[in-house]
């Protein structure tokens, strides 16, 4: 594709943006599409993802149409291809790197196909990679300086109604993860949340699935506070967005709803085994990462269980340093709301207790240019 064709985006063009896979991955792709739509508002943007995410994407103001599809099994692949062909797209942008999606692109009838495959054989199905295309358009699709997921008015109202009985300060707590190795232990959650509930924070537990529902019940019974509301398994993704934006702060494991809260503009603190948040798109000025591996670097004996086997760092992380970090984070954002930037500036150097010298927060560039 020539340089002239790379930027030949015309008003009224129909463009399909594709991202399957996990919820957080689809949300980050939607944020990239949001940046595109801000740059090219007259393009008709369709977003294709898994059926369970479609209602949320359909409610986004920058997505003109949201359609559902799947890459497998073969019968679903064919149904998805027929939907794509029926859309009459001039542009197809794929954030999915597998062979099946590249074949969807190849047979889509779109004349301009953007993306790349992790399998070199399938790269010929695209004209240009997403990064190269974005550069040619003068577009930074990875920018996260503004919120990119928006709760509809009715979902915000429903969120306010659900949380009406809780105190004004509310913490959206994301207890689950797609992989159990990414989950903080139930006992640590209980130790972390008890003093917050006792100190006047409203606690909103969020998650889904049988395992997370069981964890939510254990936390609810152990904390035993009227300031805690267990919504694990009770929210679809649209309602989840409405509840998230009704909260003051969010904190949780590496999970899709963590991306939802952060992309919605909610000041968010993520718990990670290793420092991977920026590579996954969590670059917002209002996002901070607590890296268990950094904290445990000064406590190597805690990395092994009684059998001498190495533990997942997040599971070995006690509640005390996370609580201390969260309190500083919350204080800093309270100062920010009152117009005092010095409080937030202090969190840039926030560390766990003195015995652990590693910095715990990843810093986003220009942290005071906030739009949330």
Read off the pLDDT of residues 122-164 as tens digits, 9 standing for 90 and up.
778 898 999 999 998 888 888 999 999 999 999 999 999 999 9
Give the model's pLDDT for residue 279.
82
Region 338-352: what's the mean pLDDT?
39
pLDDT band of residue 314 (cuts 50, 70, 90) is confident
| pTM for this model (two decimals) | 0.85
What is the per-residue pLDDT for 14?
97
Question: What per-residue confidence (pLDDT) applies to 250?
Answer: 97
For 83, list phi and psi in degrees, rounded to 5: -60, -45
Among 115, 136, 118, 142, smallest CA distance to 279 is for: 142
The 10s digit of each residue's pLDDT in 1-25 is 444 445 689 999 999 999 998 999 9
Query: Please, are residues 258 and 250 in contact by the beta-carbon 8 Å criterion?
Result: yes
What is the pLDDT confidence band of residue 344, given thresholds at 50, 70 and 90? very low
Q: Return the pLDDT at 277.
A: 82
CA–CA distance, 92 with 83 (Å, rounded to integer): 13
Where residue 308 falls (left for φ over 0; alpha for ψ -120 to 50; beta otherwise) is left
The arithmetic mean of pLDDT across residues 254-280, rounded, is 91
Rounded to an integer, the average pLDDT of 73-78 is: 95
Alpha carbon distance 64, 337 (integer Å): 34
pLDDT-derived band at 336 (thresholds 50, 70, 90) equals low
Structural contact between residues 287 and 268, judged by C-beta atoms closer than 8 angstroms: yes
Q: What is the radius of gyration, based on Cα positions, of the chain?
A: 22
The domains of the chain are located at: 3-136, 153-347
- Stretch 53-60: mean pLDDT, rounded? 97
If you average pLDDT over every residue of the chain, what do you get? Answer: 84
Fold of 153-347: Rossmann fold (3.40.50)
pLDDT at residue 298, rounded to an integer: 57
Measured between alpha carbons, how far is 258 from 177 in angstroms, rounded to an integer? 9
CATH 2.60.40.10 for the 3-136 domain, yes or no: no
User: Does the pLDDT of residue 47 top 50, yes or no?
Assistant: yes
Token output for 183: 């989950």
Q: What is the predicted pLDDT for the residue at 350?
A: 36
| pLDDT at residue 307 is higher than 80 | no
- Topology alike, domains 3-136 and 153-347: yes
Contact predicate 250/262, CB 8 Å:
yes
Which percentage of the chain shows pLDDT scores above 90?
65
Does residue 300 surpass a pLDDT of 70?
A: no
How many other CB atoms are found less than 10 A from the CB of residue 88?
11
When pLDDT is cut at 50, 70 and 90, the band that residue 275 belongs to is confident
pLDDT number for residue 334: 82
Task: Look at residue 287 in the predicted model and tell me its pLDDT.
Answer: 94
- The phi and psi torsions of 123 (rounded to 5 degrees) equal -65, -25
Per-residue pLDDT, averaged over 96-124, amounts to: 89
Number of neighbouring beta carbons within 10 Å of residue 76 = 13
Nearest partner of 193 among 334, 292, 319, judged by Cα: 319
Cα separation, 281 vs 183, in Å, equals 20
For the segment 223-243, the average pLDDT, to the nearest whole number, is: 97
**345 has a pLDDT exceeding 70:** no
Q: Cα–chain-centroid distance for residue 336? A: 23
The whole-number pLDDT of residue 119 equals 76
**Per-residue pLDDT band at 371 (split at 50, 70, 90):** very low
pLDDT of residue 26: 96
pLDDT of the residue at 105 = 93
Predicted confidence band of residue 120 (pLDDT cuts 50, 70, 90): confident
pLDDT at 312: 58
Q: CB atoms < 10 A from the CB of 301, how many?
A: 7
Q: For residue 251, which phi and psi values (nearest 5 degrees)?
A: -150, 140
């Amino acid at each position: 594709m020539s340089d002239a064709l790379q930027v030949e985006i015309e008003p009224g063009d129909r463009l399909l943006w594709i991202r399957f896979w996990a919820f957080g991955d689809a949300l980050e792709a939607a944020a990239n599409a949001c940046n595109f739509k801000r740059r090219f508002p007259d393009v008709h943007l369709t977003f294709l993802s898994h059926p369970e995410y479609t209602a949320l994407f359909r409610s986004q103001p920058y997505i003109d149409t949201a359609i559902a599809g799947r890459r497998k099994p073969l019968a679903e692949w064919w149904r998805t291809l027929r939907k794509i062909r029926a859309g009459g797209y001039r542009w197809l942008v794929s954030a999915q790197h597998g062979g099946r999606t590249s074949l969807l692109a190849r047979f889509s009838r779109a004349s301009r196909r953007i993306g790349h495959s992790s399998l070199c054989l399938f790269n010929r199905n695209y004209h240009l990679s997403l990064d190269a295309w974005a550069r040619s358009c003068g577009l930074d699709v990875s920018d996260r300086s503004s919120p990119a997921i928006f709760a509809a008015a009715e979902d915000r109202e429903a969120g306010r109604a659900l949380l009406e009985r809780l105190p004004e300060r509310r913490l959206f707590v994301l207890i689950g993860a797609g992989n159990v190795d990414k989950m903080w232990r139930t006992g640590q959650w209980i130790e972390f949340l008890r003093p917050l509930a006792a100190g006047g924070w409203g606690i909103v537990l969020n998650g889904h699935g049988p395992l997370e529902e069981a964890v939510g019940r254990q936390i609810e019974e152990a904390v035993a506070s009227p300031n805690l509301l267990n919504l694990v398994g009770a929210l679809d993704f649209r309602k989840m967005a409405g509840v998230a934006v009704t909260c003051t702060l969010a904190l949780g494991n590496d999970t899709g709803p963590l991306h939802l809260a952060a992309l919605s503009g909610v000041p968010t603190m993520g718990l990670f085994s290793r420092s991977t948040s920026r590579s996954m798109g969590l670059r917002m000025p209002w996002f901070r990462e607590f890296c268990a591996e950094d904290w445990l670097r000064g406590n190597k004996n805690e990395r092994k269980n009684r059998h001498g086997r190495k533990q997942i760092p997040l599971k070995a992380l006690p509640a005390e340093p996370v609580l201390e970090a969260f309190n500083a984070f919350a204080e800093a954002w309270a100062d920010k709301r009152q117009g005092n930037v010095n409080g937030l500036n202090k969190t840039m150097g926030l560390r766990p207790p003195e015995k652990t010298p590693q910095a715990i927060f990843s810093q986003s560039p220009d942290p005071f240019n906030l739009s949330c």
